[in-house]
């Protein structure tokens, strides 16, 4: 039986169909579920093996990006989310979804408490950044990036993508190997703008929790699934499979083996 993936959506979500398609390509059974259905108990979270929080502008990113959806999750679904994670299941948050995971306290989750320890602030360029970036895959326990190639190429599209935290929190994330991706230049060197599009502390583009089962990243893997998504596919010899698909396949394979 194929693993079941819940694609969480709400007002302002706009990457749900791409994320849904990515998981279907990876071999999962998917469902697009509005958060109100979860809160009302019309959909049971524990019936799924993976939850994905897609990109977009949930609730118009009023107050701060992702914070209203994060508060709904934290104050209305905390017990169910804790049970979901503690039972060994997976959560991925992409772009706005990463902002939600950070602001809800599900990432980096350095202790058992669900409380905010980091944030995603306004880009240092003070503007919306929409471009393709190079990422270096870090050694981490992240389920989603197992055996992923060392460098990947993915698009970003965000205004509040600057990952930042106090030095103590950053040091803990580093020592726990919870950094999953860093921005790098095209030649793999330490980046400057625009290679690092937002000025993140230590060039961090994605992190996981200590178990590797909760994962958040600012770039969009669901936007590079096949060669036809690549900006230079007509001019360069690009592999048929895009760099992003392996992230979804890893999650589906893990869920299938764990069930």
> Pick from 158, 141, 138: which is nearest to 219 by CA?
158
Q: Apex CA 249: angle with CA 245 and CA 251, to 5°?
A: 125
Contact status, residue 6 vs residue 33, Cβ threshold 8 Å:
yes
245: Cβ contacts below 8 Å, ≥ 6 apart = 22, 25, 26, 221, 224, 225, 226
What gap in Å lies between CA 106 and CA 190, rounded to an integer?
29
What gap in Å lies between CA 153 and CA 206, rounded to an integer?
14
The number of C-alpha atoms within 13 Å of 20 and in the hemisphere containing its C-beta is: 13
Residues recognised as catalytic:
95, 220, 222
């Amino acid at each position: 039986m194929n693993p079941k993936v819940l694609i969480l959506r709400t007002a302002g979500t706009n990457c749900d169909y791409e994320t849904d398609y990515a998981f279907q390509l990876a071999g999962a059974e998917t469902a697009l579920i509005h958060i109100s259905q979860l809160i009302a108990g019309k959909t049971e979270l524990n019936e799924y093996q993976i939850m994905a929080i897609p990109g977009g502008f949930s609730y118009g990113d009023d107050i701060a990006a992702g914070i209203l959806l994060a508060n709904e999750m934290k104050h209305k679904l905390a017990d169910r989310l804790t049970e979901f994670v503690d039972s060994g299941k997976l959560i991925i948050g992409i772009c706005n979804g990463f902002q939600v995971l950070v602001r809800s306290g599900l990432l980096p989750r350095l202790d058992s408490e669900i409380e905010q320890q980091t944030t995603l602030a306004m880009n240092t360029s003070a503007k919306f950044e929409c471009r393709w970036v190079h990422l270096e895959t870090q050694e981490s326990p992240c389920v989603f990036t197992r055996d992923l190639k060392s460098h990947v190429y993915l698009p970003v599209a965000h205004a509040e993508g600057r990952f930042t935290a106090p030095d103590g929190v950053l040091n803990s994330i580093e020592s726990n190997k919870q950094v999953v991706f860093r921005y790098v230049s095209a030649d793999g060197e330490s980046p400057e703008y625009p290679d690092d599009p937002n000025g993140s502390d230590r060039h961090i583009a994605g992190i996981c929790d200590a178990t590797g089962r909760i994962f958040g990243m600012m770039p969009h893997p669901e936007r590079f699934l096949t060669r036809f998504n690549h900006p230079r596919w007509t001019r360069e010899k690009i592999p048929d499979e895009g760099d992003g698909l392996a992230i979804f396949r890893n999650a589906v394979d893990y869920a299938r083996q764990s069930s």
